[in-house]
Amino acid sequence: MRVGVLFSGGKDSCLALHKSKSFHDVVCLISLISESQESYMFHVPNIEMTGKQAEAIGLPLVQRKTEGKKEKELEDLKKALGTAKADFDLEGIVTGAVKSIYQSTRVQRICKQLGLWCFNPLWLKDEIELLNEVVKNKYEVIISGVFAFPLDEKFLGRNLDNDMIHKLEILKDEYGLSPAGEGGEIETTVTDAPFFKKKIEILDHDVSYRDYSGVFRVKDLRLVDK
């Protein structure tokens, strides 16, 4: 089946893409660029990087801007999926939804309206299992956003590795934090994975942070051979 992946450039959409490649013909990526920092549906930090990530992966990208307002962004998503369906002859969409009933409900409804299959291969996956799968598969992932106590500035730009998973597991036990950031506590950006044809090297960045809310923003990057 020809499928497109709803792609934010974070660990979940990359892992969903990785899994779907074993079963289907992934022919494009689809990204919504939200102009709101409080998008209900779409990952925000470094979303502008998805163009370069798509290039590194070797897939075309369908990109659409959205204001990020609650129901308007669903209309924008529907338009983006409709465009991708028409341009790439898609039969299905893959998402990296894990726990969000809100997101999953809305994507399922839009896919139903557009006559598309909707695949969610990470749905209800144990979060520590998910993080371990990412690390085991040698993804290069940085923490690009923190949005909850006690995640402070020190987490921003850190790599996701076994030590980080251990830290997040402790924070889960102590503070009830979702270790994979499924409540929006953490956002990630993937710079390399087994299906990347080139890897991303970050050349410049800045950090904005205040009161357990911050973003590691990639300002400049290049693609390098692996």
Q: Which chain residues interact with other proteins by CB under 8 A?
A: 1, 19-20, 22-24, 94, 101, 105, 108-109, 111-112, 117-126
The smaller minimum CB distance to other proteins, of residues 40 and 117, is found at 117
Residue with tokens 């993080």: 131
* Contact residues for 22 (Cβ-Cβ < 8 A; gap 6+): none
- Closest contact distance (angstroms) between CB of 89 and other proteins is 16
Amino acid of residue 17:
L
> How far apart are alpha carbons 152 and 33 in whole angstroms?
25
Q: Please state the φ and ψ torsions of residue 16, each to the nearest 5 degrees.
A: -65, -40
Length of the chain (residues):
226
The smaller minimum CB distance to other proteins, of residues 23 and 149, is found at 23
Of 51, 61, 52, which Cα lies nearest the Cα of 26? 61
- Closest contact distance (angstroms) between CB of 81 and other proteins is 15
- Closest contact distance (angstroms) between CB of 71 and other proteins is 14
> How far apart are alpha carbons 29 and 56 in whole angstroms?
12
- Closest contact distance (angstroms) between CB of 133 and other proteins is 11
Count CB neighbours of 102 within 10 A: 11
Q: Identify whether 150 is preceded by a cis peptide bond (ω within 30 of 0).
A: yes
- Closest contact distance (angstroms) between CB of 200 and other proteins is 27
